[in-house]
């Protein structure tokens, strides 16, 4: 029973779980003194006969704040498989009346979560997917790509709005609202405005907005260099018909001898320096 629990829980165990498996508190202390177990937090231990994985690190951090704690933010995003890399600092949401303080390797958020906003995945309490998305997308190290990916594969925009509105007073709520508004309209027009602003701020000249090429109008054209720049909104707004039309349009422009660069709203907001560098390279701007 103990071995099975440890296997399912990434080698992490609480004192209550150990006692339920038949171990006394004295037996737990004996394992600690021998070095076979190590303490990760109040009443939480890790068995040292296996690697201390990211899953073990997140699980032990959450469990150390008690049974009402839940992983949130980027920690929850990783637990939901929305991101490839686990955050270095584990965000944990606890009830307002909890006395636990942030410790090394973790950050505490105090608020009372609605029951619809907490789920259990792999025996760990985490914020539900929709709330996780709107929170992780505005965390440092997260970004709109998390929301875009989730909307392509895992959830829908109304669910994100409902989770946001249930938790309006939380940390990062204003930024999440702006992101949701951008996602609601696809952000195509906003992407065009951002591109123009980036070009002006970089001092790049020789371009024309809405420039006609081959029966189409490209968002920005460099006539002398025959470079066309197209912007896209959020990927989750695209369907098969849009995809086919965009490729037909791009091929027509390319066959006329134009080089086509495409940037998404996420590129323009998350990686503006890279966008400008690629445009400069294409037009031979030093």
Q: Are strands 216-222 and 90-94 parallel, antiparallel or unpaired?
A: unpaired
Q: How far from chain centre, in Å, is Cα 164? A: 15
Find where tokens 């920690």 sit: 75
Separation in Å, CA 149 to CA 141, 189, 234, 249: 15, 20, 9, 25
> How far apart are alpha carbons 156 and 88 in whole angstroms?
29
Q: For residue 244, count CB atoms less than 10 angstroms from its CB and return exposed for 0-12, middle for 13-18, buried for 19 or more.
A: exposed
Separation in Å, CA 27 to CA 19, 31, 49, 64, 66: 9, 6, 17, 20, 22
pLDDT at 184: 75
Q: Are strands 208-213 and 90-94 parallel, antiparallel or unpaired?
A: unpaired
The values of phi and psi at residue 188, to 5°, are -65, -50
Question: Is the pTM above the cut of 0.85?
Answer: no
- What strand order describes the sheet that includes 12-14? 12-14, 44-47, 37-41
141: left (phi over 0), alpha (psi -120 to 50) or beta: left
3-state secondary structure of 173: helix
198 contacts 275 by C-beta, under 8 angstroms: yes
Counting as low any pLDDT under 70, the low residues of the chain are: 185-189, 233-243, 286
pLDDT at 237: 54
What is the token pair recorded at 43?
A: 């009443």
3-state secondary structure of 63: helix
222 contacts 207 by C-beta, under 8 angstroms: yes
Separation in Å, CA 68 to CA 26, 112, 116, 119, 278: 26, 10, 14, 12, 49
């Amino acid at each position: 029973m103990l071995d099975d629990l440890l296997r399912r829980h990434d080698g992490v165990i609480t004192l209550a779980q150990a006692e339920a498996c038949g171990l006394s508190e004295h037996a737990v202390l004996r394992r600690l003194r021998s070095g076979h177990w190590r303490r990760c937090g109040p009443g939480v231990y890790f068995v040292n006969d296996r690697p201390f994985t990211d899953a073990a690190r997140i699980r032990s951090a959450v469990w150390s704040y008690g049974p009402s704690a839940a992983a949130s933010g980027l920690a929850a995003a990783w637990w939901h498989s929305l991101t490839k890399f686990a955050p270095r600092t584990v965000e944990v949401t606890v009830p307002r009346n909890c006395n636990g303080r942030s410790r090394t390797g973790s950050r505490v958020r105090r608020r009372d979560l609605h029951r619809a906003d907490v789920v259990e995945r792999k025996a760990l309490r985490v914020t539900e997917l929709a709330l996780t998305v709107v929170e992780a997308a505005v965390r440092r190290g997260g970004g709109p790509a998390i929301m875009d990916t989730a909307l392509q594969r895992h959830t829908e925009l109304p669910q994100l709005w409902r989770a946001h509105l249930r938790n309006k007073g939380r940390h990062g709520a204003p930024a999440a609202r702006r992101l949701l508004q951008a996602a609601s309209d696809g952000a195509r027009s906003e992407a065009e405005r951002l591109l123009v602003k980036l070009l002006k701020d970089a001092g790049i000249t020789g371009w024309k907005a809405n420039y006609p090429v081959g029966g189409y109008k490209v968002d920005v054209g460099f006539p002398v260099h025959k470079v066309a720049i197209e912007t896209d909104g959020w990927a989750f707004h695209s369907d098969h018909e849009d995809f086919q039309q965009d490729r037909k349009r791009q091929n027509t422009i390319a066959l006329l001898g134009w080089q086509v660069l495409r940037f998404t709203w996420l590129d323009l907001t998350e990686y503006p320096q890279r966008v400008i560098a690629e445009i400069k390279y294409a037009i031979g701007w030093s």
